[in-house]
Structures are given as C-alpha cells and as structure tokens.
Amino acid sequence: MGKKKNKNKPSGAVKTAAKTEKKLANKLKKELADLGEEDIAKVVAQIESEEAKRLAAKEKNLPGPPSPRAYATLTPHPTNNELILFGGEFHDGQKTQVYNELLFYNPSNNVWRRMKAPGAPPPRSAHQAVTTPANKGELWIFGGEFTSLSESQFYHYKDLWCFSLAENKWEKVTAAGGPSARSGHRMALVGRRLLVFGGYTDDGRECRYFDDAHCFCLDTRLWTRLAPAGKGPSPRSACVMVPAGSDSVVIYGGFSRVREGRSERGVTHADLWRLTERPGGGGWQWRALRGGGAGAPPPRAQLAAALNAHQARAYVFGGVTDVEETEEELRGEMSDDLHLLDLESGKWHRVTLRTPTAPAVTRPAPEPARAAPAETVTVITDEVFTMKLGGAPAPPAAPGPPADAATAAAPAPPGPCARMSAMMAVQRSVLYIYGGVLEKDDKQFCLSDMYSLDLHKLTEWRTLAEQPALPAWLGSDSDSGSWRSGSDSDHSDSDSCTDSDQ
C-alpha cells in the first residue's frame, strides 16, 4: 500500500495564501503605526463599547441645522410630524469624519434636536434606515461603512440595529444568516419585513458588488435569503429602491464597476425592476419594467429618493453623470432635476413647478414661431390637486432689449442647487431635501442647506436653512475625483470602488 496522505495537512497553495495574508497584515500594521492610527476594527469595537456605557438618554436643541454631511439617512417619523437623520460623513479633501449622531427635525418650529441614547451604533455612512409604527415607533438601521480619518482604512458593517422611539434606547439585534458586510445597499419596509438588496464591499484589494436580496421578519426576527424566480438586475450599489404596496419593491438604476482584462469600467444603470412576492407564499419573482420614456431621468448615480406612500409615488432628485473628457479624466455633471415615478404603472414623469404669473412687460412683437411638434401630456389628478407632467418643453422666450432697471429679469426662484447624495424624505405630503455633495471648480463640498416642497401645491421650494460659506477644501485639485462618480465614499486606489458605489 502507498503512503497515506494527511488530509489535515494544508496544501502548498493554502500555505502561500497564508504567508501572503501575514505579509499584508504586517505591512498594514507598519503603515498604521506610521500614521498614528489603530486598526479600524479595534476602533469600531472601542466606540461601540463606550456607547454601551451610556446609562440614560439626553437630548438638546441645536442652534441651527446639523453640520455639513452626505451619505446619511433622512427618514420620516412613523407617528409624529418629524424627520430622523442618522450618521453620514464629512470630507474636506484631506480627512473624513464619520458620524453616529441621531437627530430629529420638527418642521412646525424648524428646530433640530440631538438625541444621545444608550447603546448607540458606531459611526457610519452609506447605511440604510427605515421606520415602522410598531411598538410605538421604531427606527431600523442596517450596514454601512466606517472610514478612518486619513482614509487609509475602511470597515463595512453587517450589523442590524433598532432604536425604540418610545423608550429612547438602542438595541443591537443579533440574528444569523443575514447579508454579508456591505454599504451602498438599499433597504425597504414591505409589510412587516425589511428587504435588503445590492451594495458593495471593498477590502482594499478587491471590490465586490452584490445582487442578492435578503428579508428580515420583524415578528420572528429571522433573516432569509431570497431566491426569486426569473432573471433580476445585475450586481450594483447606489440604486433607488422603494416599496410598492405590501408585497413588492421597485428598483431603478445604480452603479457598478465591470472588470475588463486588467482594468475596470464604471457602469451607471438606468433599468427598472419589480420584485414581487407571489400570492399564497409562493416565493418571490423578478420582472423587468419598461421604464424609460421622455420623463425618465438619464443614467445617473447617487440620486436621492423618497416615497409618498399615500399616492403610490416615488420622487428622485439630483445625481451625477460622469462625462469622459480624456482616457484618464472624468468630469461630473450634477443635476437639480426632480422626477416622479408612478409605482403602479412604472412610468416616469419630470416634475415642473407651477410658478406665479409674472407682471407683463412691454416688448417688441416677436417673430412668429414655428409650432412645436405635438407631444403626449400626462395629467395626474386626485382629490387635492391636478399636476401637469411631461409634454413638450416651453418654447424659448423671444429675444428682447438688454435688461435694465425697468426690464431686469426676476431672480431665480429658491431651491436646492444641483448635487448628488442628498438626503430626502416625504412627511405628510411635504418633500424635504437636506445636504449632499456639490461639485465646484473640481472640488466637492458637503452641504448643510435644507428645503421643502409642498407636493399638493407644487409652486415653489421653501428654504428652511440657507447654505453658509462653503467648507474649506484642503485637498489638491487632483484629489477631487475621489467623490466624483457618485458613491458614498472613495477608496482612492484605481483598482478599488469609486464614489458612485453608494
């Protein structure tokens, strides 16, 4: 008989991999020592331990809006006329600050308050949050990422947290079988279940995008990985996902990177999907929707999204499109468009506000204009208002004399400027937008302005907090590409994820 092999003895490939991992770990340890930083996993554990020592909740009104940030969550309170903001990050070109602040906004008096409650989660951005009125109100948070100040380390979470709005305390929910660590994913409340889809993770050596869907039952507190029938969307992060009734979600767009040989190419998606639970507990099924049309937003990353559940509509705002100028340079074009998605029909409409009629100004008679081609116009009517959407754009104004004191044009109406990664929510038929990222002169600035729009009237944006002077940008112009592509945080290396990922 031949000599028996030791099945427990590691192979040469396993030994080589172990040595490589050890070398990388030692290299990282040396680099962190040079930077004066601890291992990020230890930092996260220390923060969580310190938060657990808090014995009682404390709240305090803020003198103004929160500090500038992006990649936070803005969620409607399930029972009160309030909004809940959690987490987010601020980047100045050199350092990144990540938050775990829990903030409440009261639209009635335009006041923010900060709640420091026992057992809070560690700081994070690019996470997801939903609320439910159950148990007198709960806020649920899953995943996200933490970034060291120098951006040399990134930590992705796979934890699930519940904040009791009645008792003002946090609970870390332990349940096996949940999604892997990720950020840039999307989460929606469907009935009594949390649905999680997509996202990405980056360990500094490899960036992975996900197309998996998971369900967490709030009653049994159990995770289930879904296996929907049919072909679904490709792996992606930073998509739009909103619930459509109690048995389905609608998913639009997103961002991913596709490897081609030894290089990578960013892809901004513009497809529309519905994930529906079959009747009688028959599982779930993917279905591609046509979408598109004249009212659909073009391919963009980092659109803000909010649900108006009473009217089965979702609103999306802003976003960024990368325009290739050379083989090595990209220019980001940001948007201030507001679009509406009818969740029942799957059709898009561009929202144009109704402006008050301006006073007449005497001008020379214009030349007769050629008639514009006929175009379909959609009129949406409910018991409260009628809104005209789509159709041909208004013809350009006829040329007139140079503006002077008598004929000067009216100032531009207030409203959020073009941006990406804004926080947006609908509460009691009012749309709110806070913060986000503005690109200016090849630099990216976190914002702290806030606006509201009455969805019944649709006449004008109301400014709730003006943007003060832009924060100082401490990075070089070459650093500005780190937030350009629309993700929640940039990992700098050319082989890693870019900013469209979250």
Closest CA to 319 of 255, 229, 251: 255
How far, in Å, are 149, 301, 439 from residue 494 at the CA level? 20, 19, 21
Is the confidence at residue 483, as pLDDT, over 90? no
- pLDDT band of residue 7 (cuts 50, 70, 90) is very low
Is the confidence at residue 399, as pLDDT, over 50? no
**Comparing 372 with 317, which gets the higher pLDDT?**
317
- pLDDT band of residue 386 (cuts 50, 70, 90) is very low
The number of CA neighbours under 13 Å toward the Cβ of 286 is: 19
Global pTM exceeds 0.85: no
Question: Is 71 a domain residue?
Answer: yes
Rounded distance between C-alpha atoms, residue 127 and residue 182, angstroms: 8
- pLDDT band of residue 332 (cuts 50, 70, 90) is confident
- pLDDT band of residue 356 (cuts 50, 70, 90) is low
- pLDDT band of residue 371 (cuts 50, 70, 90) is very low
Residue 432 pairs with which residues in a beta bridge? 425, 452
* Range with lowest mean pLDDT among 334-348, 356-370, 371-385: 371-385
What is the count of structural domains for the chain? 1
Q: What is the mean pLDDT of the chain?
A: 81
Question: Is 65 a domain residue?
Answer: yes
Question: Is 409 a domain residue?
Answer: no
Q: Which residues contact 491 (CB under 8 A, 6 or more apart)?
A: 151, 154, 202, 204, 207, 497, 498
For the chain, what is the radius of gyration of the CA atoms? 25
Question: Is 431 a domain residue?
Answer: yes
CATH of the domain at 231: 2.120.10.80
Contact 193, 217 (CB under 8 A): yes
Q: Which residues contact 30 (CB under 8 A, 6 or more apart)?
A: none
Question: Is 384 a domain residue?
Answer: no
> Would you state the pLDDT for residue 383?
34
> Would you state the pLDDT for residue 366?
44
Rounded distance between C-alpha atoms, residue 21 and residue 29, angstroms: 12
> Would you state the pLDDT for residue 447?
97
Is the confidence at residue 388, as pLDDT, over 50? no
- pLDDT band of residue 263 (cuts 50, 70, 90) is confident
* Domain extent for 89: 37-353+416-483
- Alpha-helix residue ranges (DSSP H) falling in 236-383: none
Is the confidence at residue 500, as pLDDT, over 60? no
Going by DSSP bridges, is the β-strand pair 138-142/102-106 parallel, antiparallel, or unpaired? Answer: unpaired
Is the confidence at residue 212, as pLDDT, over 80? yes
Copy the structure tokens of residue 109: 């008096």
Question: Is 446 a domain residue?
Answer: yes
Question: Is 408 a domain residue?
Answer: no
Is the confidence at residue 204, as pLDDT, over 90? no
Question: Is 266 a domain residue?
Answer: yes
**Comparing 46 with 20, which gets the higher pLDDT?**
46
> Would you state the pLDDT for residue 360?
41
> Would you state the pLDDT for residue 17?
43
**Comparing 278 with 293, which gets the higher pLDDT?**
278
* Range with lowest mean pLDDT among 79-93, 298-312, 321-335: 321-335
Model confidence pLDDT, tens digit, residues 451-471: 999 999 999 999 999 998 899
> Would you state the pLDDT for residue 56?
95
The DSSP line for 352-400 is -PPPPPPPP---PPPPPPPPPPP--EEEEE-SS-EEEEESPPPPPPPP-
Mean pLDDT of 212-239: 97
User: What DSSP designation does 176 have?
Assistant: T
> Would you state the pLDDT for residue 440?
85
Closest CA to 85 of 471, 448, 467: 448
Is the confidence at residue 329, as pLDDT, over 80? no
Is the confidence at residue 442, as pLDDT, over 90? no
Model confidence pLDDT, tens digit, residues 116-151: 999 999 999 999 999 999 999 999 999 999 998 878
**Comparing 380 with 92, which gets the higher pLDDT?**
92
Closest CA to 416 of 349, 480, 354, 464: 464
Model confidence pLDDT, tens digit, residues 280-305: 888 999 999 987 667 888 888 889 99
